[in-house]
Structure 1
Amino acid sequence: MTFPSAPPPTSPTGEQITDYYSALGPLLRMAWGDNLHFGYWEGPTDRSSPEEATDRFTDLLAARLRVRPGERVLDAGCGVGRPALRVASATGAQVLGVTISQEQVTRARELAREAGQEESVRFEYGDVMRLPHPAGSFDAVLAFESIVHMDRLTALREMTRVLRPGGRIVLTDTFALGDGPGNPPSTPGTQATADAGEVASIGRLEAYPELVKGAGLELVELTDVTEHTKYTFMRVIDGILRCRREFEREHGVSVEEILDSLKPAHPDVATQGGAEAVGCLVAVARKPLGA
């Protein structure tokens, strides 16, 4: 999970992303849990916990993968691995999680051992935009809120390369709500990038059909789920406020120091109209059978 910044001209380095999650990760995990992504609530009266809401979102995406037991799924930008473990349990698929953070690989492997899922889920250090796997290696690809750290077109083309013909890519992404200052028009090549020092970017919902087509895919679904995910930022802040004393005692650093250290990575979100101006989408795309 990341806080939003405007779409800039270059993608962040692996070192920048690793440093970001090394700094913020312990606080987020204490405040939010190991699912470092949006939660999905049914409405304003839904009192589901962050774990319940984030697991619900994982389940919605797992169903869209349409994989059978024994098939191979790539979790592209897997974080600490909770969605990968849940997808494997729900579908019976073999899941490979890839992340550019060695720290996340270590934690993900610990979670797999604790869950007794080392046979069905593996985790590797790697760059999703430069995968070492042969063409057609996977039956489906999941990119759960990870494409915000990448050049979207480059990442989608690489996911498409390692996907078998007929396979699906299921992803979530953030996008700018409405038109106005801070929300300039984007193209498939530019809506995926981050400026120097920034670790994430937001795009535009209406750019997705062209983006998917440019990656050699057929768009199956494009859904704005903001009405279900919009409670996330408020509840993350509530979680941080609840755990801040425990966090500061355990880590010997204040929450303010952590957040201040991340300001270069995330310029003032007021330029985007605040967190309320950031939406969440689900996209499902299919690799043509003849590809």
Structure 2
Amino acid sequence: MANENVIIDYFDTCEIHYRRLWDLQNSMAMHYGYWDETTKNFPDALKNENILLAQLIQVQRDDIILDAGSGVGGSAIFLAKEFGCKVIGVTLSEKQVATSRLNAKKHNIAHLVEFHQKDYLDTGFPDGYFSVVWAVESICYCADKKDFLSESSRLLQKNGRIIIADGFLKEGSLNNTEEKQMRLWLEGWGIPNLSRESEFTRYLEPLQFKSIEFKDCTKHVMPSSQRMYYPSLAVYPFIKILEWLRIRKKIQTQHVIGAIYQYITLRKKIWKYGIYLGVGAKH
């Protein structure tokens, strides 16, 4: 895991941006969402991603799901309400745990969901405890993705499923401009690095994951990426002034810069958004 304090500070300090642009209080979502021909609006896109991932991984009522990097609880609450399954969410942020528990009570689903302040690299749960590991835009915060996959392999029951939705770096080397632009995005969001698809597949195979599948969903997140870009571009000068006046923190300015460059780099195909599915056969 990257520096835990950096990640906690990023999410706790920049939550105000998610509340304003992502309607966090109602959406309970901090992910890109998924746009297709049936999507009517942004809230639909956010919900669609949870629906799609649940369909791909074939969530069942008797599943026990680990939501690794559970944010404010949106995916866990969706899964529990929609399928009646048990979901345990883990996040580094004590603030997010408190918010998640309040959200669960608000949606009358607290009997099916739990939220804990834990590192998903060292959860403390027994071997083979979960039937599904669910990770939406959270594995990017792990410096060495192999560590997360190793812990997931340990936690999964025999034939348990893993699903990961995240950003993946393009194949090949980056030029200086591409490296600089990616750094402005990733550092702005507290992300240490992105894996390449080829690297990630290579990490999965020695851990005895089978039926590995990757879906490139870049075009389905582009509208959300663009939705972040234009407001961020517009407010950046004002955010910078507020930082200078000590009304806003530097990390909030960096977050806005990151929101600008995530779109620039996605449009230039320096990275892509993808979904990984796999079945664990270890236990």
- Partner residue, 2:128: 136
Q: Is the 8 A contact 1:230 1:279 kept in 2?
A: no
Deviation (angstroms), 1:32 = 0.9
Deviation (angstroms), 1:262 = 4.6
Aligned counterparts, 1:209-220, within 5 A: 209-220=201-212
Query: Using a 3 Å threshold, how does the CA distance of structure 1 residues 267 and 67 change in structure 2: closer, same or farther?
Result: closer
Deviation (angstroms), 1:79 = 0.6
Identity %: 24
Q: Is the 8 A contact 2:228 2:260 kept in 1?
A: no
TM-score, normalised relative to structure 2 = 0.80
- Partner residue, 2:33: 39
* 1:14 paired to 2:4: yes
Instruction: State which drifts further: 260-269 or 132-141.
Output: 260-269
Provide the secondary structure at the position in 2 that maps to 1:80.
Answer: coil
Of 269, 272, 275, the residue aligned with 1:279 is 272
Q: Is the 8 A contact 1:176 1:272 kept in 2?
A: no
Query: Using a 3 Å threshold, how does the CA distance of structure 1 residues 271 and 31 change in structure 2: closer, same or farther?
Result: closer
Write the deviation string for residues 249-268 of structure 1: whole angstroms up to 9, x where unpaired: 9xx97679554255899997
Of 23, 40, 51, the residue aligned with 1:48 is 40
1:231 maps to amino acid = P
Provide the secondary structure at the position in 2 that maps to 1:231.
Answer: helix
More helix by share: 2
* 1:165 paired to 2:158: yes
Deviation (angstroms), 1:169 = 0.5
**C-alpha separation in 1, matches of 2:264 and 2:223:** 20
**C-alpha separation in 2, matches of 1:119 and 1:254:** 40
Deviation (angstroms), 1:242 = 9.4
Q: Is the 8 A contact 2:34 2:46 kept in 1?
A: yes
**C-alpha separation in 1, matches of 2:21 and 2:260:** 22
Query: Using a 3 Å threshold, how does the CA distance of structure 1 residues 257 and 87 change in structure 2: closer, same or farther?
Result: same
Provide the secondary structure at the position in 2 that maps to 1:129.
Answer: coil
**C-alpha separation in 2, matches of 1:270 and 1:277:** 10
**C-alpha separation in 2, matches of 1:61 and 1:119:** 23
**C-alpha separation in 1, matches of 2:234 and 2:51:** 27
Query: Using a 3 Å threshold, how does the CA distance of structure 1 residues 62 and 153 change in structure 2: closer, same or farther?
Result: same
1:172 maps to amino acid = A
Provide the secondary structure at the position in 2 that maps to 1:54.
Answer: helix
Q: Matched residue pairs, number?
A: 263
TM-score, normalised relative to structure 1 = 0.78
Deviation (angstroms), 1:274 = 6.7
Deviation (angstroms), 1:160 = 1.2
Runs of 5+ in structure 1 lacking a partner? 1-10, 184-193
**C-alpha separation in 2, matches of 1:42 and 1:265:** 25
Write the deviation string for residues 84-117 of structure 1: whole angstroms up to 9, x where unpaired: 1111122221000110111111111111011011
C-alpha RMSD of the superposition: 3.5
Deviation (angstroms), 1:179 = 3.8
Runs of 5+ in structure 2 lacking a partner? 177-185
Provide the secondary structure at the position in 1 that maps to 2:121.
Answer: helix
- Partner residue, 1:57: 49
1:17 maps to amino acid = I
Q: Is the 8 A contact 1:199 1:265 kept in 2?
A: no
Provide the secondary structure at the position in 2 that maps to 1:88.
Answer: helix
Deviation (angstroms), 1:166 = 0.8
Of 165, 176, 179, the residue aligned with 2:169 is 176
Query: Using a 3 Å threshold, how does the CA distance of structure 1 residues 74 and 47 change in structure 2: closer, same or farther?
Result: closer
Instruction: State which drifts further: 52-61 or 26-35.
Output: 26-35
* 1:118 paired to 2:72: no
Write the deviation string for residues 208-259 of structure 1: whole angstroms up to 9, x where unpaired: 32121133311432111111112222112356689999xxx9xx97679554
Query: Using a 3 Å threshold, how does the CA distance of structure 1 residues 268 and 55 change in structure 2: closer, same or farther?
Result: closer
Query: Using a 3 Å threshold, how does the CA distance of structure 1 residues 232 and 69 change in structure 2: closer, same or farther?
Result: same
Query: Using a 3 Å threshold, how does the CA distance of structure 1 residues 137 and 261 change in structure 2: closer, same or farther?
Result: same
Instruction: State which drifts further: 227-236 or 107-116.
Output: 227-236
- Partner residue, 1:25: 15
Q: Is the 8 A contact 1:30 1:243 kept in 2?
A: no
Q: Is the 8 A contact 1:65 1:170 kept in 2?
A: yes
- Partner residue, 2:224: 232
